[in-house]
Chain A
Amino acid sequence: MKIHEYQAKELFQKYGVPTPRGKAAFAVDEAKAIAKELGTLPVVVKAQIHAGGRGKGGGVKIAKTEAEVEQYANQILGMTLVTHQTGPEGRLVKRLLVEEGLPIEKELYLSLLPDRDTASIVIMASEAGGMDIEEVAEATPEKIIKVFVNPLLGFQAYEARQLAYGLNMEPEVVKAFIPMINKLYKLTVEYDCSLVEINPLVILSDKRVVALDAKVTFDDNAMYRHKDIQAYRDLEEEDPFEVEASKYNINYIKLPGGNIGNMVNGAGLAMATMDVIQLAGGQPANFLDVGGGASAEQVENGLRIILSDSAVKGVLINIFGGILRCDILATGVVQAAKNVEIKVPLIIRMEGTNVDQGRKILEESGLKITVAKDLADAAQKVSAVAKA
């Protein structure tokens, strides 16, 4: 799960990690009031969306006067911000973060995340702050320091020193940095973060170390133990189709530019089915895993969500009945057809548990459904629809 920068900074403050003073604003007047309350100039006006690259897209401005605060807040609130992470359609800005400008001496990069290969928490740091870390990793990998923390041992003092001295910090800065990195490690573990990234982490002229930016994402599997974070969820940042699907516990992802909808059981088979659609000359419109324990209702809701996308010219249902039985799937499809008008061709490939009963239910329903005998056959039938 993603949260906004200002929410991530609230979490930092809870752990005592220094951030610039500031507050979120939802309106221009509010932004002005916050700037006044901060009692300092310049202030920074930052667009709050769930995507990076906001500065380059014009979503971050430094206001040197009160008039500029108003001007920039006006400009950014309500703008459609396009960054390399939003896609060409961009994202509408509905929230701002207004915070104090600070005298920066040096910019660093810092991140903490679980590393799947080593089953440890990797802390990455670099003196090349403020830059895209993927680019740094590619061009100058020697500029990135990595420390792998064993989660059974926890973060050790020598590991903190490796980071501090690796970043060539002056003694005063080391003193500020060590407690901060310990707090960040604690936060990462306690809140099941899948990423804590500060880019840039800044050293100020008075040698304080401050998180100028903050990006925090969470492990969806662990949200059950973080009710406070669930309150941070911003549904407006999510795709409306995906929000709808999540209400029924359906694993759905909308894919831009697609024309063939699909519903599959199992994540691997669902991805492979998307690939098959593309190889057949279509473009998958979505990823949808109905899961192993799907009910007829979930199948119906899944189909309804797929069909509500007007770009969909046809739907491929691919089910390998294991735990999910083919007769349950067929019942769901028939039920959906009664409640939702299906105007596009429906191709079904079923195999596995209770496949004969499933096929019988489809045949006896009188619905116009094309049954494919196997995946290769399904691909050919999809191809015909995509090219029609």
Chain B
Amino acid sequence: MSIWVDNNTKLVVQGITGREGQFHTLQCKAYGTNVVAGVTPGKAGQNVEGIPVFNTVAQAVKEAGANASMVFVPPPFCADAILESIDAEIPLIVAITEGIPVMDMMKVKNYLKGSKSRLIGPNCPGIITPGQAKIGIMPGPIHKPGPVGIVSRSGTLTYEAVYQIMRFGVGQSTCVGIGGDPVNGTNFIDCLSAFQNDPETKAIIMVGEIGGSAEEEAADFIKQNVTKPVVGFVAGATAPPGRRMGHAGAIISGSSGTAQGKMAAMKAAGIAVVENLGLLGDVAQEVFKDVI
């Protein structure tokens, strides 16, 4: 078991003929993901190493049975690409693209409400269920199947978390990068709730960063609803207020969104908060030892 992505995933890649899109499509395929189609408007009939290309997502669903999409479309056209997948009722949309304007994402977010789709990202590494399928740009070989669910706002911090628990031989059920943008699809709570309900996930690592209040809300949710042990980390304790730290969403506004505030909320909810990233694996090993 796992969440959202598994052996039944049939992937369509939007923007498959671009340089990045093509490279990562083949990486996903090599990992074992069932990539059934690609979409690039105007390039129907072509193929990328045997993967058929369609003009529209609707065609990819109809002809190839796609049930998930990975979006590599450049920022000016990306919101449109996501809307197209929502309209085609794709159950899982994973948007890797970084740099989509906030105004565009706000419209997407409102259009998602009441739709049949779940959006992961944008500006994220994607999602991987080790040993089954990956939709995204994370390096596959660092993972292995196991009991820990990981959710993170940052790509490389997710890899770091995976690497550190792997030193103790601990694998992952599913890892989800929810992305570093201020307005995104799936949030911490969606992932925590899914991990709580997934029998194969025995423990959870939650990696946050400065900006917004998603970590505080997640902490509140954990207190009420999550019985599995959670280890948490928040990046940006040394970040100055008012500056965007790389990610569009990583900004302390006034006195809200600080790492200190988030860590305090998480500790109060019973989460084992690691302050020094170098010790994440050791702490997880200690906290999870009874369940894994």
Q: Are the CB atoms of B183 and A267 closer together than 8 Å?
A: no
What residue of chain B has the Cβ atom nearest to residue A374's Cβ?
A: B278
Interchain CB contact under 8 A, B180 and A267: yes
Partner of A116, one of B137, B207, B235, B249: B249
Count of chain B residues near A, Cβ 8 A: 60
Shortest beta-carbon distance from A375 to chain B in Å: 4
- Closest A residue to B159 by CB, please name it: A320
Are the CB atoms of B101 and A279 closer together than 8 Å?
Answer: no
Residue among A114, A267, A275 making CB contact with B238, cutoff 8 Å: A275
Interface assignment of A201: CB less than 8 Å from any CB of chain B: no
Complexed CA–CA distance, A4 and B163 (Å)? 46
Interface residues as binary, B156-192 with A (CB distance below 8 Å gives 1, 0 otherwise): 1101100100000000000000001011000000000
Q: Are B157 and A221 in contact (CB under 8 A)?
A: no
**Which residue on chain A has the smallest CB distance to residue B177?**
A268
Q: Bound state CA distance, A203 and B103, in angstroms?
A: 31
Does the CB pair A271–B250 fall under 8 Å? yes
User: Which of A88-96, A117-125, A363-371 binds B?
Assistant: A117-125
Contact A272 B157 (CB under 8 A): yes
Is B30 an interface residue, CB under 8 A from the partner?
Answer: no
> Known interface pairs A117-B213, A253-B243, A266-B156. Does A189 touch B103 (Cβ–Cβ under 8 Å)?
yes
Of all chain B residues, the one with the shortest Cβ separation from A269 is B156
Quick one: given A116-B183, A270-B246, are A276 and B277 in contact (CB under 8 Å)? yes
Contact A292 B237 (CB under 8 A): no
Cβ-defined contact, A114 with B277, below 8 A: no
Cα A322 to Cα B240 with chains together (Å) = 27
Chain B hits for A376, CB < 8 A? 276, 278-279
Q: Contact at B276–A253, with CB atoms within 8 Å? A: no
Asked if B246 and A267 make an inter-chain contact with CB atoms under 8 angstroms apart, the answer reads yes
- Chain A: interface residue count, which band? 35 or more
The total of Cβ contacts below 8 Å across the A-B interface reads 171
Which of A121, A269, A284 lies at the interface centre, i.e. has the most chain B CB atoms within 10 A of its CB? A269
Q: Please, how many angstroms separate the alpha-carbon atoms of A152 and B107 in the complex?
A: 6
Closest to A195 in B: B253
Does B81 lie at the interface of the complex (its beta carbon under 8 Å from any beta carbon of A)? Answer: no
In the bound complex, residues from chain B placing their C-beta under 8 Å from that of A273 are: 277
Q: Mark B235-278, 1 if CB is under 8 A from A, else 0.
A: 11111101111111110001100010000000000000001111
Please tell me if the beta carbons of B152 and A268 are within 8 angstroms of each other in the complex. yes
A275–B156 CB distance below 8 A: no
Cα distance A331–B38 in the bound complex, in angstroms: 34
Nearest B-chain residue to A323, judged by Cβ: B137
Contact among B183, B238, B246 for A119, CB-based, below 8 A = B183
Contacts of B245 in A (CB 8 A): 253, 267, 270-271, 287
Within 83-118 of A, Cβ neighbours of B (below 8 Å) are at 85, 114, 116-117
User: Do residues B244 and A220 form an inter-chain contact, with CB atoms below 8 A?
Assistant: yes
Q: How far is the CA of A275 from the CA of B239 in the complex (A)?
A: 8
Nearest CB on B from A62, distance (A): 29
User: Cα distance A323–B212 when bound, in Å?
Assistant: 27
Within 8 A of B (CB), among A263-294: 264-279, 284, 287, 289, 292-293
> How near does chain A come to B94, taking the closest CB pair, in angstroms?
16
Cα–Cα distance between A152 and B86 once the two chains are bound (Å): 15
Say yes or no: is B199 at the interface (Cβ < 8 Å to chain A). Answer: no
- Distance (whole angstroms) from the CB of B35 to the closest CB of chain A: 18
Q: Which residues of B contact A284 (CB under 8 A)?
A: 238
Establish whether residues A268 and B109, one from each chain, have CB atoms under 8 Å apart when the complex forms: no
CB of A150, distance to nearest CB on chain B (Å) = 6
B196 CB to closest chain A CB (Å) equals 22
Q: Which of B42-100 contact A (CB under 8 A)?
A: 75-76, 99-100
Interface pair B279/A265, CB less than 8 Å apart: no
Which residues of chain A are near B209, meaning CB under 8 Å? 267-268, 271
Q: When chains A and B are docked, how far (Å) is the Cα of A120 from the Cα of B183?
A: 10
Whether the Cβ atoms of B139 and A192 lie closer than 8 Å is: no
CA distance A260 to B261 in the complex (A): 25
Chain B min CB distance to A262 (Å): 11
Residues in B with CB closer than 8 Å to A276 are 276-278
Q: Is the CB of A320 within 8 A of B249?
A: no
Q: Is the CB of B76 within 8 A of A120?
A: no
Q: A222–B102 contact, CB under 8 A? A: yes
**A271 vs B246: C-alpha distance when bound (angstroms):** 9
CB of A68 within 8 Å of the partner chain: no
A353 CB–B CB distance under 8 Å:
yes
Residue B1 at the A interface, CB < 8 A?
Answer: no
B248 to chain A, nearest CB (A): 6
Contact check: which of A134, A194, A222, A321 meets B139 at CB < 8 Å?
A: A321
Which of A114, A275, A289, A321 has the most chain B CB atoms inside 10 A of its CB?
A: A275
Chain A residues whose CB sits within 8 angstroms of the CB of B246 once the complex forms: 251, 266-268, 270-271, 287, 289
Q: Pick from B105, B235, B246, B275 the residue with the most CB of A within 10 Å.
A: B246
Q: How far is the CA of A323 from the CA of B140 in the complex (A)?
A: 11
The answer to whether A375 and B278 touch across the interface, beta carbons within 8 angstroms, is: yes
Binary CB contact string for chain A from 33 to 46 against chain B (1 if under 8 A, 0 otherwise): 00000000000000
B106 CB within 8 Å of chain A: yes
Identify B235's interface contact among A251, A256, A268, A277, CB under 8 A.
Answer: A268
Contact call B156/A265, Cβ cutoff below 8 A: yes
Flag if B110 contacts A150 (CB, 8 Å).
yes
Give chain B residues whose Cβ lies under 8 Å from the Cβ of A255: 238, 240
Select B103's contact among A192, A269, A279, A374, beta carbons within 8 Å: A192
Q: Which of B159, B213, B238 contacts A322 (CB 8 A)?
A: B159
7 contacts between A and B (CB under 8 A): A192-B102, A266-B156, A268-B156, A268-B246, A276-B278, A284-B238, A293-B20
Beyond A275-B275, A293-B20, 8 additional pairs, beta carbon < 8 A: A119-B105, A267-B245, A267-B246, A267-B250, A268-B235, A269-B157, A271-B236, A375-B160
The 5 A-B pairs with the shortest beta carbon distances in the complex, nearest first, are A268-B154, A267-B246, A266-B156, A376-B278, A222-B101
